[in-house]
Amino acid sequence: MYSHDNRIVVTLDAGGTNLVFGAMRANEFIVEPITYPSQAHDLDKCLETMVRGFLEVIARLDEKPVAISFAFPGPADYPNGIIGGYLPNFPSFRDGVALGPFLEMQFGIPVFINNDGDLFAYGEALGGALPEVNTRLEKAGSAKRYRNLLGYTFGTGLGVGMVVGGQLNRGDNSCVETFCLRHKKMPGIICEDGAAIRAVKRVYGELSGCPDHGLEPKDICEIADGTRPGDAEAAKKAFAEFGEIAGDAMATAVTLTDGLIVIGGGITAARKWIMPSLLQELRSKMHQLNGNELDRVQMQVYDLDDPTEFDAFAKGDMRPLKVYGSDRYVAYDPQKRTGVMISKLGASKAISVGAYAYALSRLDEN
């Protein structure tokens, strides 16, 4: 969708350290990115930087953009473009800033702001994982198609977005979140403390006996891979626990959403150490008081990046079913199934595609 649209949307990757400005046409960037320090502790300087960055991008374009659309980290009243609340990376916004209306007043075009997890999921649903899987299913001769998607970003936090029936579900309060679900091993703690960058660093420090190691997940992944000195077993277990805690949160969410799962973020580089425990958690069992055993997720869970598993996912359990009282048969596939895959677009590109598509979809509605 929108991959052949000639309209231009100006974008922003808003981080606590840097603001990266760009512009998209037909789902692709058309100018070199412009980067400025965020000045996140000073509201006047931050807003001044935003205006300067957008002005510079617009000056490079060969026609006027139709909108500004971007992601902002943290809680907000996104439908009204108001940023406020607990914002560790943007402390000067905590008391509330009408950012959307401010930018609309400055540039005279519509401004759309969303949560980064929401835009990641929306980008993957329109131009990434969802169309990719459905195309592969069609080529495999399967009649199965998917319209629902959960998108997770693994990074500083545990971001999530939800697309239902091809539409972004932002909720009634712009508050579709899973970071605050219970931590499987520490029920009084949020799951994000077990499924974020800080979790990998903490668990590696605890298991290796070096809590002040100063390493980043990339370093710890290299230790697990055996290409860097360190405690390899502690590194592997740190990523495995990450996968377990993330998988537990996903199991709750996908049970309620009944769609596919796509994961993005830098930590996915450690996929081979994360995915086994994540999949094991999604495929785990629960019990009734009478002892009956049930699947934790009421769908069979497949690793869609594994060719053999994808073939089984596409095949399902199709069989002929006789219509009672007649000689007629219908095709019947009783297998309920879902799948997990790593983003091929990458989190940053998917968020930008989501921002672009969201702006155009809103303009088309109006």
Confidence at residue 184, expressed as pLDDT on a 0 to 100 scale: 96
What's 303's domain CATH number? 3.30.420.40
Confidence at residue 179, expressed as pLDDT on a 0 to 100 scale: 87
Whole-prediction pTM: 0.92
pLDDT digits (tens, 9 = 90+) for 143-186: 999 999 999 999 888 999 999 999 999 888 888 888 899 999 99
Beta-strand ranges (E) seen in the chain are 8-14, 18-25, 28-29, 34-37, 67-72, 76-77, 82-83, 111-115, 149-154, 158-164, 167-168, 260-264, 285-287, 293-295, 300-303, 319-322, 329-332, 337-342
Residue 259 belongs to domain spanning: 129-344
Query: Of 115, 148, 168, which residue is a domain's last?
Result: 115
Task: List % helix, strand, coil for the chain (3-state, nearest 5).
Answer: 40, 25, 35
What residues are paired with 322 via a beta bridge? 329
Look at residue 28 and tell me if it is in a domain.
yes
What tokens does 323 get?
């219509």
Cβ atoms of 78 and 178 within 8 Å: the answer is no
pLDDT digits (tens, 9 = 90+) for 236-294: 999 999 999 999 999 999 999 999 999 999 899 999 999 999 999 999 999 999 999 99
pLDDT digits (tens, 9 = 90+) for 15-72: 878 898 999 999 999 999 999 999 999 999 999 999 999 999 999 999 999 999 999 8
Higher per-residue pLDDT: 46 or 366:
46
pLDDT digits (tens, 9 = 90+) for 74-132: 778 999 999 988 777 788 998 999 999 999 999 999 999 999 899 999 999 999 999 99
Look at residue 123 and tell me if it is in a domain.
no
Cβ atoms of 341 and 305 within 8 Å: the answer is yes
Domain count, the chain: 2
Average pLDDT value for the chain: 94
Per the rule left: phi > 0, alpha: psi between -120 and 50, beta: everything else, 295 is beta
Confidence at residue 272, expressed as pLDDT on a 0 to 100 scale: 97
**Domain shared by 25 and 166, yes or no:** no
Residue 316 has pLDDT above 90, yes or no: yes
**Domain shared by 86 and 134, yes or no:** no
Q: Is 1 exposed, middle or buried (0-12, 13-18, 19+ CB in 10 A)?
A: middle
Residues 6 or more apart from 18 whose CB is under 8 A from it?
Answer: 35, 36, 37, 38
Per-residue pLDDT, averaged over 300-319, amounts to 97
CA 331, CA 320: separation in Å to the nearest integer? Answer: 5
